[in-house]
């Protein structure tokens, strides 16, 4: 009997079954970027965890509690046992909620993926914070402060469910504004369509220098992946209201597809050069497909 079906629905973003599956997964960063706070991630240096790491020669002044007395009785030389240091990782998520994300369920899918990543992070005792890139305005952006622990799952879901689309903030500006308030190393998950007139290189550099490993998830709708247009048209930008007149649009589709593929490759290259990773998915794909299929196969989570 399926027990999950009897539980009340925890959030409208993810089903209980999905949440159960997410409980057994964790984010796998490439770089070991952690904070000083004690956590569950090896920091790559000696620590005081219970996990044995190595031996080294005893030098005067070392804590006698870490001398391996069994080895000393056999070898008659004192060796010191070293243990891993486990620190806490920060998982920061930036959800692009500009007007362009309101098309074709892109924002809903972004919120679902953010919820999935947040669940994995909170279940693994990582600090989770969420920022929303939405309106081009000064001041603190809409965000969920860093939180850790399973107790904050409800807080995470409530925050994500409350995100509304609209606004014209470019993604690169949203990243810069996020970094003004963020501190700590870890992983930065950017959920956006990445359709911006600006240069993403500077924003990605800032993320890298801050100590955040970039996980870029591009969400595109069917009209962006396979537009069906023909004749003479006037395109209107949903954010800037700028117009563009196109004649014989059908003839341009092949060029459009070339440009879209090239743009994806460019963003992926920018991420890769900064030890980040990038994936482009359709907003029509289910969150389960994106998380359990795409991300697992690409080694983002395990």
Partner 1 sequence: MNFGFYTLSAALLALFAIPLIIFYFLKLKRPRIELPSLALWRQVMNDTRVNSPFQKFKRNILLFLQLLLLLLLVLAAMQPFWHGASDRAERLPILIDNSASMGALDKEGGATRLQTAKERVARIIDGLLPEQELALISFSNTARRRTGFTNNKRVLREALADIEVEDVPSDIEDALRMAQAMGRAAAFEEVLLISDGNFPDRANFDLSFKLNYQRLTPAGANIGITALNARRSVSGMWDVFAQIEASAESDLSALVEVEQDGARVARDSARISKGKTQRMVFRVSGEKASSISVRLVPDTFDSLASDNTAFLDLPAARSLWVHASTALPAFRHSLAAIGGIFLHPEDGVGKRADRYDLLITDLVPEMEIEARTSLYIGLVPDDLKPLVEIFQAGSGIVDWRRAAPLLQHVELGDLIILDEPRKKADAEEKSFENLGYVVLAHGRRAPLLLEKRSGDRLQYFLLFHTDRSTLPYRVGFPILVSNLMQIAMTEAGISEAHGNRTGMLPPLKLTAERTYRVEQPRGGVVETTADATGAVSAVPAPFTGKYVVKDGNTQVKVGASVLSTSETTLAGAHEIRFSQGLTVGASETPAKTDRSLWKYLALAGCALLLVEWWFFNKRPRGA
Question: What DSSP string describes 125-178?
Answer: T-EEEEEEE----SSPPSEEEEE-SGGGHHHHHHHHHT--------HHHHHHHH
Round to whole Å and give the CA distance between 226 and 121: 34
| Residues 103 to 132 in contact with partner 1, rule: CB under 8 A | 103, 106
- Interaction between residue 254 and partner 1 (CB under 8 A): yes
Per CB under 8 A, the segment of 43-51, 177-185, 216-224, 287-295 that binds partner 1 is 216-224
Residue number with CB closer to partner 1 (9 or 248): 248
Residues 6+ apart with CB under 8 A from 286: none
Instruction: Please check whether residue 194 is in contact with residue 218, taking contact to mean a CB–CB distance below 8 angstroms.
Output: yes
**Which of 10, 227, 266, 268 touches partner 1 by CB under 8 A?**
227
Q: Could you give the string, one character per residue 147-186, with x where binding to partner 1 holds by CB under 8 A and - elsewhere?
A: ----------------------------------------
The nearer residue to partner 1, 283 or 301, going by C-beta atoms, is 283
8-state DSSP, 284: T
Q: Distance between CA 224 and CA 104 in Å, rounded?
A: 10
Q: Does 253 bind partner 1 (CB under 8 A)?
A: yes
* Residue choice 8, 61, 139, 231 for contact with partner 1 (CB under 8 A): 231
Tokens of 301: 């989570």
268 touches partner 1 by CB under 8 A: no
Residue 40 or 237 having the CB closest to partner 1: 237
* Sign, Cα dihedral of 207, 208, 211, 213: positive
Sole window of 57-65, 140-148, 155-163, 254-262 interacting with partner 1 (rule: CB under 8 A): 254-262
Q: What is the DSSP letter of 1?
A: -
Residues that bind partner 1 (CB under 8 A): 99-101, 103, 106, 193, 195-197, 221, 223-224, 226-240, 242-257, 259-260, 263
């Amino acid at each position: 009997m399926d027990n999950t079906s009897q539980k009340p629905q925890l959030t409208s973003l993810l089903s209980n079954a999905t949440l159960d599956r997410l409980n057994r997964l964790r984010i796998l960063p490439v770089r070991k970027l952690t904070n000083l706070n004690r956590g569950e991630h090896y920091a790559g240096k000696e620590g005081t965890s219970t996990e044995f790491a190595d031996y080294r020669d005893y030098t005067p002044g070392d804590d006698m509690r870490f001398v391996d007395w069994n080895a000393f009785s056999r070898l008659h030389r004192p060796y010191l046992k070293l243990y891993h240091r486990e620190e806490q990782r920060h998982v920061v998520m930036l959800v692009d909620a500009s007007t362009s994300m309101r098309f074709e369920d892109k924002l809903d899918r972004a919120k679902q993926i953010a919820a999935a990543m947040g669940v994995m992070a909170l279940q693994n005792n990582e600090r989770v914070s969420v920022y929303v890139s939405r309106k081009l305005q000064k001041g603190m952006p809409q965000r969920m402060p860093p939180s850790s622990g399973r107790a904050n799952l409800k807080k995470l879901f409530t925050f994500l469910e409350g995100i509304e689309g609209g606004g014209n903030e470019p993604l690169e500006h949203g990243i810069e504004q996020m970094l003004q308030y963020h501190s700590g190393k870890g992983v930065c998950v950017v959920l956006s369509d990445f359709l911006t007139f600006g240069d993403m290189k500077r924003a990605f550099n800032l993320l890298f220098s801050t100590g955040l490993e970039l996980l870029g998830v591009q969400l595109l709708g069917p009209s962006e992946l396979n537009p069906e247009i023909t004749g003479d048209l006037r395109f209107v930008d949903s954010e800037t209201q700028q117009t563009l007149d196109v004649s014989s649009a059908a003839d341009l589709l092949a060029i459009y597809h070339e440009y879209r593929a090239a743009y994806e490759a460019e963003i992926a290259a920018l991420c890769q050069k900064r030890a980040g990773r990038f994936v482009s998915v359709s907003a029509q794909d289910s969150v389960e497909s994106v998380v359990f299929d795409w991300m697992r196969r690409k080694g983002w989570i395990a």
